[in-house]
Amino acid sequence: MDGKVFRYVSGSLHYFRVPKPFWKDRIQKMKAAGLNAISTYVEWSLHEPYPGQYNFEDIADLEYFIQLIQDEGMYILLRPGPYICAERDFGGFPYWLLNVVPEKRLRTNEPNFKKYVTRWFSVLMPKMQPYLYGNGGKIIMVQVENEYGSYHACDKAYMIWLRDLYKSYVGHKALLYTTDGCGYAFFKCGAIPEVYATVDFGSNCTGVCFQYMRKTQPRGPLVNSEFYPGWLSHWGERSPRVPSNSIVKTMKNMLALNASFNFYMFHGGTNFGFKSGANMKSNTPQHGFQPQLTSYDYDAPLNEAGDPTEKYFKIKQALKEANRQVSHQISPVPTPKGDYGKVTLKPLASFFEQITQRVKPVTNDVPLAFEDLGVNTGFVMYETNLTDIQKSFIGVVKLNIKTVRDRAIVYLDQKQQGTMYRAMGNYTMALNISRTVKKLSILVENLGRVNYGRFLDDKKGIFDPIKLDNKTLGPWKMIPHPLNETSWIPPIKPKQSVHLPAYFKTEFVLPANSTKCLDTFLDPSGWTKGVAFLNGINLGRYWPANGPQVTLYVPSIFLVPPPAINTLIMMELESVPKDLSVKLVNKPVTKY
């Protein structure tokens, strides 16, 4: 760099997973550990949630995030994709692409896809240009696409086109690079001429993975663009743990080879709202669905709440021994957390009540996908009347749905009959139809679009004919519940009881001595599955019945100090504890 030997030790920190007021704290802790660079993806869906509507405010204030990194004298590795994976809904793509790009043509040379990428980059990249190293900024590297060698399309024309699009903005003001997994086949499709090829890997495979990189990139520094100190988690699975000692051993090997590397993640943060994605472990889109957690703790050196862990200090010590500049100002004692006790909620309204229906219903002969309804997140209730076919179906009949994405609760006259879950592959159900049954309702939940692999075209809901035995049902009334805001809820008067699924609410004041709000964790143990909102902010999905995550992280800035009133709203799907209480505790809780 500028004629001098240079090596970066970087850590991934995603601005979109951390509240804006906490960005500086996380950046400074990373610098104190001996890092001199920070890597971040750019999430297209956050910045262009609807076509042509752009957002760069609050948690989407990317330029402020970059400026904070520059103010600390650290370098930036920018990863704008446009596809980022990142265990985010749809790999960071905006959901509306599913309506404008032909099926199975994402991440290819398809003209419509390229049109929308070009338009997005015409907004994003001019904002990034002043921060490029060649323009006096700290962005030293810009990644083209993301692990493209892992994608089945292997469209070289697309990658060359995307490279040239990047060049039109970056020129020689920063280094363009790619990153791919540890395997020659990955580099075969992922590497691009005139773009620096780097590799990803975790612990204990330094030599072989760098060999794959060397076969593609004969000259230049060795680079591990995603060095994994932890790993991601799915609902219903045990949280993975990566031993600190194995991370330090591999890190020391890379340091000895004079390699540059980036910890993915150094601080994971949280998938607030409905931003978590999903994986597939099967060759068919109907089975092997793996939705990801609200927490993105990642077993990272800085945990979900931003506290340094044992792993942090072992990494810091190893970097100190390697003559990296570290700071001794970071305490090994976690910041205090609030143990605010129990709060009790009251029933408000059921999904079956018209007051909760905030989006105009749509009627159609066959069910429509969320995307066709213009719905990004949350739920859609599919309803049809059975009055006209009652005489044909009295007794036990079989409900058949070809596709459920992702989880459906089935009701007869508002009484729950059972669930269908894509992860289990169960799309049939026996229903006992009596002479008095009038309505079939199916509430479908979007648990996050697939973010990796060949099944990115992951439309949600039901979009095939639904049958009772061999009889096709319809027409269907579809009622969206996107759950993208709760401002309409306060005027509703609490009730003694309510029919699930339903909203519940409480208002509470923090203890009088709480002059400063502390981070805390919402513990919904006893509740089954739903979504929690605090002071209008969507904390994310909870599912303690499934685990491993039980608690939801609550940053201090989401709370208001006394005597101000905090409002908690829970949308529960299936069952609630008798006392309708939750706790605000000072430690995260996991099921296993």
Residue entry with tokens 């999430």: 43
| Cβ atoms within 10 Å, residue 495 | 12
Cα separation, 251 vs 318, whole angstroms: 8
Structure tokens at 420: 């269908």
**Biggest alpha carbon–alpha carbon distance for the chain:** 85
Q: How do beta strands 502-508 and 476-481 pair?
A: unpaired
Count of beta carbons in the 10 Å neighbourhood of residue 26 = 21
List 420's β-bridge partners, or say none.
Answer: 408
Which backbone phi and psi does 22 adopt, to 5 degrees? -95, -5
In whole angstroms, what is the distance from residue 571 CA to residue 354 CA? 16
Cα 371 from Cα 544, distance rounded (Å): 28
- Terminal-residue alpha carbon distance, the chain: 47
**Sheet of strand 502-508, all strands in order from the earlier edge strand to the far edge:** 346-350, 502-508, 566-572, 530-534, 537-542
Give the C-alpha separation, 76 to 374, whole Å.
Answer: 36
Residues 6+ positions from 386 with CB-CB distance below 8 Å: 393, 433, 437, 438, 439, 440, 473
Separation between Cα atoms, residue 468 and residue 451, nearest integer Å: 33
Phi, psi (rounded to 5 degrees) for 159: -65, -40
Q: Considering 147, 304, 371, 572, which one is annotated as catalytic?
A: 147
Question: Minimal CA–CA distance to 442: which of 459, 464, 457?
Answer: 464
Question: Is residue 145 annotated as a catalytic residue, yes or no?
Answer: no
Q: How far apart are CA 72 and CA 2, in angstroms?
A: 20
485 is catalytic: no
Please tell me the distance from the alpha carbon of residue 342 to that of residue 577, in angstroms, as a whole number.
Answer: 13
Catalytic, out of 48, 87, 226, 572: 226
Number of helices (H), then strands (E), belonging to the chain: the values are 10, 29
User: What is the Cβ-side half-sphere exposure of residue 93, based on CA atoms within 13 angstroms?
Assistant: 28
Instruction: State both tokens at 433.
Output: 């139809």
Q: How far is CA 41 from CA 12, 46, 265, in A?
A: 8, 11, 11
Burial class (CB in 10 A: 0-12, 13-18, 19+), 79: buried
Q: Do residues 363 and 477 touch, judged by C-beta distance below 8 A?
A: yes
User: Closest Cα partner for 134 from 100, 174, 169?
Assistant: 174
Token output for 52? 């042509």
Q: Backbone dihedral region of 362: left (phi > 0), alpha (psi from -120 to 50 degrees) or beta?
A: beta
Return the closest-CA partner of residue 296 out of 591, 549, 554.
549
Strands 395-401 and 466-468: antiparallel
Which alpha helices (H) appear in 11-75, and where do they start and end?
23-32, 44-47, 62-71
> Mind telling me the catalytic residues?
147, 226
